[in-house]
Structure 1
Amino acid sequence: MADIDPKLATPTDLARNDTMTAADALNVALADCFAIYLKTKNFHWHVSGPHFRDYHLMLDDQAAQILGVTDAIAERVRKTGNTTLRSIGDINRRQQVADNDREFVSPDDMLAELREDNLKLVEALRRAREKAEEANDTATSSLADDWIDQAEERAWFLFEASRKG
């Protein structure tokens, strides 16, 4: 992360160099959130089959939850005196979750892919939480616990919805 423009400086009692590492990790998680959000909406729009209604509604609910988290993550980065994502290109450079541009994805594959993506997001959020704890940023660490729990819940719902029998 480059030095912050003085016009964007945010007052904080946290050490800037320490929070930069946490902010970098949060920005990776944020990029993954946007990638998962768009993929979830893609699958919401293109799901088909006998479970259409259930999957369509679940994916819409999950997308809304993910989008809600994005603002909280970005604002936390700013509160610590750092800068956050600025563009689709910025997201693309940082995201660790792969996009899915396939013409057709079966509902089972959709659920499995989103489940794995949410578990990857859990890992990214845990790394960000660890970096925040190293920076003595307890607020970010506490918020990350909630974001981790939400991603774990989404993965669980996707797993249960994909079970057969």
Structure 2
Amino acid sequence: MTKKSADGKKAQSGQKAGERGARGANRGAGALAESGSRSAAPSDGKPAAGQPTGRANADAAHLNATNNALVDHAYLTEDEFGTVAETLQRNLATTISLYLKFKKYHWDIRGRFFRDLHLAYDEFIAMIFPAIDEQAERLVALGGSPIAAPADIERYSTVTVPTETVRDARTQVSDLVADLTRVGRGYRDDSQTVDDANDPATADLYNGYAATVDKIRWMLQAMMDDERMN
């Protein structure tokens, strides 16, 4: 074999190894690997103290940072974690959006039902608000890292916060009932999904949230039965 052909084979081998390394670095990030940036190294070429040296955008368990050695996915495999993490990130974003939407309508409501809905919306917010922190901390407990920048919330959420002013009571309530129908169904489906992914604890959380959402939806539907809202 000539030296030229041997060098060519070595180059091809190195290229293939690099491709395998890149695929391995991308594995396991799932839906949480879409935001963030790579940390800059100091002039000596060594990682800065406390800065992640793993792949940029990785979930917390894959970051090689100070005090991060014990972060892992607990009893979940990489694939199971990816499945559970996707639902937690989406539901976290959705719950934050639902909170903001209730607040938006709380501020905008006018007319005969102002007082009833102005107060009711804050009562409903108090019922759903704890789920924000609970879902984020559940993701952290499983070795994830919640993303919560406004653009990311909008991207993951299944609820759209209106940018226009909506003052009519029936329009507001009808819109919220449609949202809650979709969110409740999502929690029910996600409960089955994460249970199949070996995470009954998160499934239990979702079952509780589904019951809360169903209750709020029922209360809003009952308000729509008032003929004065037409």
User: Same fold judged by TM-score > 0.5?
Assistant: yes
Match of 1:104 in 2: 166
Match of 2:186 in 1: 124
Q: What pairs with 1:1-165 in structure 2 (closer than 5 Å)?
A: 1-2=32-33, 3-4=58-59, 5-7=63-65, 9-10=71-72, 12-165=74-227
Change (3 A) 1:128 1:86: same
- Moved runs in structure 1, 4+ residues, more than 3 A? none
CA distance in structure 2 between the partners assigned to 1:6 and 1:111 by the alignment: 48
Structure having the higher Rg: 2
More helix per residue: 1
Task: Tell me the CA shift for residue 87 of structure 1.
Answer: 1.0
Match of 2:41 in 1: none
CA distance in structure 2 between the partners assigned to 1:155 and 1:6 by the alignment: 44
Change (3 A) 1:22 1:54: same
Task: Tell me the CA shift for residue 10 of structure 1.
Answer: 4.0
Q: Secondary structure at the match of 2:163?
A: coil
Superposed CA deviations along residues 67-111 of structure 1, whole A, max 9, x for unmatched, are: 211111111111222222231111011112222122233111111
Q: Highest relative contact order (Cα 8 Å, sep 6+), 1 or 2?
A: 1
Change (3 A) 1:80 1:30: same
CA distance in structure 1 between the partners assigned to 2:123 and 2:147 by the alignment: 24
Task: Tell me the CA shift for residue 123 of structure 1.
Answer: 2.4
CA distance in structure 2 between the partners assigned to 1:142 and 1:6 by the alignment: 32
| Aligned partners of 1:35 and 1:95 also within 8 Å | yes
Task: Tell me the CA shift for residue 6 of structure 1.
Answer: 3.9
Query: Which ranges in structure 2 are unaligned for 5 or more consecutive residues?
Result: 1-31, 34-57
CA distance in structure 1 between the partners assigned to 2:189 and 2:144 by the alignment: 17
Identity %: 25
Task: Tell me the CA shift for residue 12 of structure 1.
Answer: 1.1
CA distance in structure 1 between the partners assigned to 2:196 and 2:166 by the alignment: 44
RMSD: 1.7
Q: Provide the TM-score with structure 1 as the length reference.
A: 0.91
The letter of the residue matching 1:125 is Y
| Aligned partners of 2:166 and 2:172 also within 8 Å | no
Q: Provide the TM-score with structure 2 as the length reference.
A: 0.67
